């Protein structure tokens, strides 16, 4: 078993650095920097006002310390808040070959005739974000024919300011929390998506985030609006080079589902987790929230979290519309010295609202993995239902798993169920599988894939395979 744990420590395969000429803002954070970002992006006034409001709020806030994570103080004045490739990009054809090669290496297609590496079948529209800027979006024309807007956030600010002004901050207000306030002040790009009434988006939309520059933070913003009776399935992926320093990533994602709309949001998070001694790695402080605004709307979060030195993330649903549905399916893997404090919040406001939580935490090495979830049933949420299932799997004896469920019920008609289990990959299971010819790593990977099955079934099929592979890689050398 110990040896398997040792073997699980494989290298992070996306750890390379791209040599590309970059424009990087001086380190530090103040109003001038925020004005520079806004000017550089040629933003309308409302954006600058909004950013400054967020900055003022942030300055009065305290970094939260309630999560089960430990990290040295972050010096927010020692980070650069903007980095972009120097070369101006007019179309995907102008893309710096180095950057194109980077995405190719990662298996992300930036030509429309291509499909994701290892994925057969349906095309996927991709928005690629390199450090602080979006470097290209595919299939824009095909989607535009249906009235779907899928572009970088910067472009949305220019082309659709009325939508941005209307929805930005409507789910995660600037004062929501320390990291979202920071993001609101300095975010530089991200993806924007609008699905018009009655349209079913015919392909997966995907954003791929890549941190490259050193000494910078990445702060992206994603805003997805699904108008009445529409449907969209959206996937985000992320990687970063292996560096000895810790890089800060503080993103905000806002989803709005109008009447009868369904947004399916899947994440495969693979930021650099640091080396096996815990040096380096991304600090991932992310605020993700969806608002089921209309009646009968539905938002489903699926996440596979394998990367980052620290993960602090609670994709949530505010179930405002009557009969609306919120779902959260999560696999969080920690190995070596990784720390994850992740879970969800389901806020039931409307009548007959339903939520489902399935969380699978896998801890290996010396890592710590915590599930933290809130289910709140408000007084008016007549007939609300929640079912939560939190399972933890331990590999080896030096890791830990924690579950912090919070339940607040203010309506007597609510039905709230919570189940939790903790299990270990047992010596018996490993012996059994190895006696059938599987190597110890294959054995662990099979047990783990069985454990995660319910969540993988929720992933778009194209990505389930990728997620499975990623899981295998993350656990290589982790069995212990």
Partner 1 sequence: MLEIRNLHAEVDGKPILKGIHLKLAAGETHAIMGPNGSGKSTLSQVIAGREDYTVTQGEIIYNGRNILELSVEERAREGIFIAFQYPTAIPGVNNMQFLRTAVNAIRKHRGEKELNSGDFLKEARYAMQQLDMNPEFIKRAVNDGFSGGEKKKNEILQMYMLKPRLVILDETDSGLDIDALQDVSRAVNQFRSPERSFLVVTHYQRLLDYIKPDHIHVLFDGRIVKSGGPELALELEQSGYDEIKAAAVL
For partner 1, the binding residues (CB under 8 A) are 426-429, 431-440, 442, 446-447, 449-454
Q: Which is nearer to partner 1, 412 or 435 (CB)?
A: 435
285 phi, psi to nearest 5 deg: -115, 100
**Shortest separation between residue 145's beta carbon and partner 1, angstroms:** 39
Residue 101 Cα distances to 189, 213, 240, angstroms: 21, 16, 15
338: which 2 tokens? 């990784």
The nearer residue to partner 1, 411 or 468, going by C-beta atoms, is: 468
**Minimum gap (Å) between residue 3 Cβ and partner 1:** 10
At its nearest, how many Å lie between partner 1 and the CB of residue 431?
6
Cβ 355 to partner 1 shortest distance, Å? 23
Cβ atoms 227, 91 nearer than 8 A? no
Q: How far is the CB of 426 from partner 1 (least distance, A)?
A: 7
- Between 42 and 423, name the residue whose CB sits nearer to partner 1: 423
The span from the CA of 235 to the CA of 110, in Å, is 15
Residue 307 vs 396, nearer CB to partner 1: 396
Q: How far apart are the first and last CA of the chain?
A: 6
Task: Specify whether the CB–CB gap between 186 and 33 falls below 8 A.
Answer: yes
Cβ(430)–Cβ(461) below 8 Å:
no
Q: How far is the CB of 443 from partner 1 (least distance, A)?
A: 8
Percent of the chain as helix, strand, coil, to the nearest 5: 25, 35, 40
Q: How far is the CB of 253 from partner 1 (least distance, A)?
A: 29
Among all chains, which residue has been given the structure tokens 């939190």? 390
Which CB atom, from 166 or from 469, has the smaller least distance to partner 1?
A: 469
Contact 184, 37 (CB under 8 A): no
Q: Is 312 or 451 the residue whose CB approaches partner 1 more closely? A: 451
Q: What gap in Å lies between CA 208 and CA 72, rounded to an integer?
A: 28
Closest CB to partner 1 among residues 114, 454: 454
Q: How far is the CB of 356 from partner 1 (least distance, A)?
A: 18
| Close Cβ partners of 431 (under 8 Å, ≥ 6 residues apart) | none
DSSP bridge pairs for 177: none
DSSP state of 186: H
Cβ distance to partner 1 smaller for residue 70 or 439: 439
CB 441 within 8 A of CB 473: no
Cα–Cα separations (whole angstroms), residue 449 to 170, 232, 350: 38, 27, 36
Q: How far apart are CA 132 and CA 411, in angstroms?
A: 45
Q: Residue 173 or 450: which CB sits closer to partner 1? A: 450
Are 471 and 448 a contacting pair, CB within 8 Å?
Answer: yes
**Can you say how many angstroms the Cα of residue 424 is from the centroid of all Cα atoms in its chain?**
27
* CB closer to partner 1, 378 vs 474: 474
Structure tokens at 465: 């395979």
How near is the Cβ of 332 to partner 1 at its closest, in Å? 17
> What are the E-state strand segments in 160-216?
189-195, 204-210
CB of 321 to partner 1, least distance (A): 34
């Amino acid at each position: 078993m110990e040896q398997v744990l040792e073997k699980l420590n494989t290298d992070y395969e996306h750890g390379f650095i791209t040599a590309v000429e970059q424009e990087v803002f001086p380190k530090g954070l103040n109003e001038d920097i925020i004005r520079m970002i806004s000017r550089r992006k040629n933003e309308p006034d409302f954006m600058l006002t909004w950013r400054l409001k967020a900055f003022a709020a942030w300055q009065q806030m305290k970094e939260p310390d309630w999560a089960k994570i430990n990290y040295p103080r972050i010096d927010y004045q020692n980070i650069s808040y903007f980095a972009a490739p120097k070369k101006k990009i007019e179309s995907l054809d102008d893309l710096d070959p180095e950057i194109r090669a980077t995405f190719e290496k990662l298996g992300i297609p930036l030509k429309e005739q291509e499909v994701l590496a290892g994925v057969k079948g349906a095309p996927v529209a991709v928005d690629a974000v390199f450090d602080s800027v979006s470097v290209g979006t595919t299939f824009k024309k095909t989607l535009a024919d249906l009235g779907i807007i899928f572009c970088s956030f910067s472009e949305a600010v220019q082309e659709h300011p009325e939508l941005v002004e209307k929805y930005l901050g409507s789910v995660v207000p600037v004062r929501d929390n320390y990291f979202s306030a920071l993001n609101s002040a300095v975010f530089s790009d991200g993806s924007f998506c609008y699905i018009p009434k009655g349209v079913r988006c015919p392909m997966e939309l995907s954003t791929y985030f890549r941190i490259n520059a050193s000494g910078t933070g990445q702060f992206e913003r994603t805003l997805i609006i699904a108008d009445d009776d529409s449907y969209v399935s959206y996937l985000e992926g992320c990687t970063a080079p292996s560096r000895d320093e810790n890089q800060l990533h503080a993103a905000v994602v806002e989803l709005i589902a109008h009447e009868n709309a369904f947004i399916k949001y899947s994440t495969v998070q693979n930021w650099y987790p640091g080396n096996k001694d815990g040096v380096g790695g991304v600090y991932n402080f992310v605020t993700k929230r969806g608002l089921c605004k209309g009646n009968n709307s539905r938002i489903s979060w699926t996440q596979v979290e394998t990367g980052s030195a620290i993960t602090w993330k609670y994709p949530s649903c505010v179930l405002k519309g009557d009969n609306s549905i919120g779902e959260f399916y999560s696999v969080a893997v920690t190995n070596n010295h990784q720390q994850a404090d992740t879970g969800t919040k389901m806020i039931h406001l409307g009548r007959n609202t339903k939520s489902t939580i399935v969380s699978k935490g896998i801890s290996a090495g010396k890592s710590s993995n915590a599930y933290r979830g809130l289910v709140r049933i408000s007084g008016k949420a007549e007939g609300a239902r929640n079912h939560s299932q939190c399972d933890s799997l331990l590999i080896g004896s030096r890791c830990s798993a924690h579950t912090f469920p919070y339940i607040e019920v203010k309506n007597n008609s609510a039905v709230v169920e919570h189940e939790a289990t903790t299990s270990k990959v047992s010596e018996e299971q490993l012996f059994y599988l190895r006696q059938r010819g599987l190597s110890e790593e294959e054995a662990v990977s099979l047990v783990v894939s069985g454990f995660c099955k319910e969540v993988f079934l929720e992933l778009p099929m194209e990505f389930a395979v990728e997620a499975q592979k990623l899981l295998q890689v993350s656990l290589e050398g982790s069995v212990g």
